[in-house]
Chain A
C-alpha cells in the first residue's frame, strides 16, 4: 500500500500552500517542489494502476462516510488511466518549464502554483465521484487556466483570458443549474447514486439536466459551437500551458461529459447526438485550421478537431468505440503536447507567432524541428507512429457499427489536416530563414521533456500493445455502468468511531 487516491489531491494542495512559504527560505525549492510532488504522484499512479488491474476498482471514501453521504474518489481502470496520463503529462510539462521565468522569481512562484493547481483540478475532475465536487474542481481548473492564459503581459493574453472567463462562467452556470435540477429530484449528489436512481426522475428534469450538462461540460470539452475561447486561449498562453491545456485540461472536460452521458443518464439518442456534434466540431475546426497564419492558433484548431474526433468515437458507443476514443485521447495528449512544446520554441522570440517565422529553422534548431515534424507526421495518423493506431481503431469501430459516412468524413478531414501540417513542416525544413527571426535554442530540460514525448510516440507506434491492455480495461469499466454503481455504493463503513 503506497497511498490512496486522495493523495492525488491532498499532496499537491499541501505543496501549493507550501510553495510561497518555501520561497522565502530557498528560492530554487519553488521550482523543485512541484516536480517532486508530480514524480511521487506518478509513482503512486503507476502503483495504483497495478493494484487496480489486480484487484479491481478502488473507491476511497472521504471523511469516513460511505458514498451516498460522503464524497468519494473512484480510481477505476478508466479514471486511473486518465489520472496517470495527466500526471505524466504534468510531469513532462514541469520538466519542460523548469527554467520558466528564470529571472523573475515572483512570477515563477505564481506560475508553478497555478500549473500545479490546474493539473490537480483536472485530476480531481476525473477522480471524484460527486457532481458538486466535480464542479468545484472544474472551477479550480478554470481559475488557474484563466490566470495562466493571461500570464504573459505583453500580448493580447488578457483578451483571450477574458473570453475564456465569460464562456467559463456560463459553463458554471449551466453546471449549477443541472445540479439544482438533479438535487431537486433525487436529493443526492453522488454520481453512482444518481445513476442508480435516475429512473426516478421526472422525464423533463432528466432531459433538461442532461442538456445543461452537455452545454456546461461541452464548453470544457471544446465542442462546436461552444469553443470560441479555445483558439485564443491556446495561442496566448505560454507554450507549456498550451500543452497542458490540450494534454490535460480538455481531457478532463471530455471525461466529465462522457461520465455524465454514459453513467449518469442513459437517454436514447445521446450517442447519435455526440456523433453529429463531434463531426461538426471536427470539420469546422479543421477547416479553420487550414487558413491560419499563426502557428499556435493552427495547433489549437487542430486540437479542437481532435477532440471532436474523440467525441465522435465515444458516440459510436460500442466497446471498440470507447477504446478508440481513449486511445485517441492518450495519443492526442502526447502528440499535441509535443507539438505545442516544440512549436513554442520555433516561434519563441516572436510576438505574433506567424507560421512564416518558422521558415528554415531546421538548420538552427535541428532537434526541435525534428520533433515537431515527428509530431506532425504522427498526428495525421501516418503509420508506424502512435496516431495511426488510434485512427485505425476509430475507423474499425465505426465500420463495425456500419457508419460508412462517418468513416468517409473522418478521412476527408484527415486529408485537410495533413495538408496544413505538412505545409508547416515544409516551411521549417525548406524555406529560407527570415532575416529578422532570431531562433532561441531550447534549454536542456526542454529538450529532455520533448524527447520523452518523442520516444513515447515511437514506443506506442511500434508497440501499441504497451498501452492497449490498459485501454481495453478502461473502456470496459466505462461501459459497465452497473458495476460502477455497485462498486461505489457497496464501499465503505459508515462512521468508524
Chain B
C-alpha cells in the first residue's frame, strides 16, 4: 500500500471539509427536521462526520496501518531501532482506538434513541416533534 495519494493540494483538506460538511448536514437534520426518526438519522450522520474527522486528524502521509504484520516486518530482526524506523511510517493509532470506542458508543446512543422513538410513537401516535411537547415551562 505505498501509493503517494495525497500529494495534490486539492485533496489536502478535502477530508476536513467533507467531515465538517457531514457534521453540519447531520446537525441540520437534527435541528430542523420534524420527524423524530429524521432527528435520530441526523444524529447518526453527525457521528459519522466526527469519526471521519478524528481519523483524518490521525493520518500520516504515506503511512501504513499500525500493524506489525509479518508482511511488513519481512525478515528484519526485531530490534528497537527497527521498530522505531517502521513506526515512523505508520499512521497514528490513537485516534483509531478512540474512534473504535466512539462508534460503539454512538451505536448505543442511537439504539436508545430509537427505542425512545418507539415509546413516543406508542404514547403520542405521531412522530412530529412539534406535537410532542406536553412538558413545558
Contact = CB atoms under 8 A, between A and B. Distances in A.
Direct contact of A and B (CB under 8 A): yes
Nearest to A162: B116
A176 B109 contact: no
Interface string B110-128: 0011001101100110000
Contacts of A166: 30, 39, 43
B50 to A, nearest CB: 5
Given A156-B135, A158-B123, A183-B95, A176 B117 contact: no
A130 B53 CA distance: 20
B72 interface: no
B115 to A, nearest CB: 9
B3 interface: no
B110 to A, nearest CB: 9
Interface stretch (B63-71, B73-81, B98-106): B98-106
B90 interface: no
Interface string B1-45: 000000000000000000000010001001000001001000100
A184 interface: yes
Interface residues of B, number: 35
Contacts of A189: 94
A247 to B, nearest CB: 22
Pick the most buried of A168, A173, A291: most chain B CB atoms within 10 A of its CB: A173
A400 to B, nearest CB: 38
A180 B57 CA distance: 7
Contacts, number: 88
A256 B58 CA distance: 26
Contacts of A156: 123, 134-135
Nearest to A292: B137
Pick the most buried of A159, A187, A232: most chain B CB atoms within 10 A of its CB: A159
Nearest to B98: A132
B95 A158 contact: no
A173 B50 contact: yes
Pick the most buried of A158, A170, A177: most chain B CB atoms within 10 A of its CB: A158
B23 to A, nearest CB: 7
A288 B57 contact: no
A222 interface: no
A160 interface: yes
A139 interface: yes
Interface of B: 23, 27, 30, 36, 39, 43, 46-47, 50, 53-54, 57-58, 92, 94-95, 98, 101-102, 105, 108-109, 112-113, 116-117, 119-120, 123-124, 132-135, 137
Interface of A: 132, 136, 139, 142-143, 146-147, 150, 153, 156, 158-163, 165-166, 168-170, 172-173, 176-177, 179-180, 183-184, 187, 189, 231-232, 235-236, 288, 291-292
